[in-house]
A = this chain, B = another copy of it.
Amino acid sequence: MAIHKKEAFTQKEQELAEFAKALAHPARIAILKLLAQKNACICGEIVDVLPLSQSTVSQHLKELKNAGLIDGSIDGPRSCYCINWKAFEKFMGEFSFLFNKLKVQQEKACC
């Protein structure tokens, strides 16, 4: 963009957008799905399963980690990743709060 205007929005809005951005790629959805299905640490199997190069997968993992959605530790030549359920719940809760708040009175005749 010419100038990023993101600072012009509230902290909460930026946080939610960051969370969504972390989910905004099928590779990252797929990674999370893998981690969720195992509900445990996965050590290295991710690259084998995805149709992406090792460096690309590593980058996606980094983004998920930066967003706080996964935890990971490196034990020398192998790594260990798992979902940070707490963070996940937090954000899902915030979204639900935002957009379900008034949904009770739903079904307006509209547009």
Contact surface of A with B, Cβ cutoff 8 Å: 5-6, 8-10, 13-14, 16-17, 20-30, 32-33, 36-37, 39-41, 51-52, 71-73, 80-83, 85, 88, 92, 95-96, 98-99, 101-103, 105-108, 110-111
A27-B9 in contact (CB<8A): yes
From the candidates B10, B26, B36, B37, name the one contacting A6 in the complex (CB within 8 A).
B26
Number of copies: 2
A21 to B8, CA, bound (A): 20
A5 to B51, CA, bound (A): 8
The residue in chain B whose Cβ has the minimal distance to the Cβ of A72 is B111
Given contacts A9-B30, A20-B24, 4 further A-B contacts (CB under 8 A): A13-B29, A23-B95, A29-B98, A83-B99
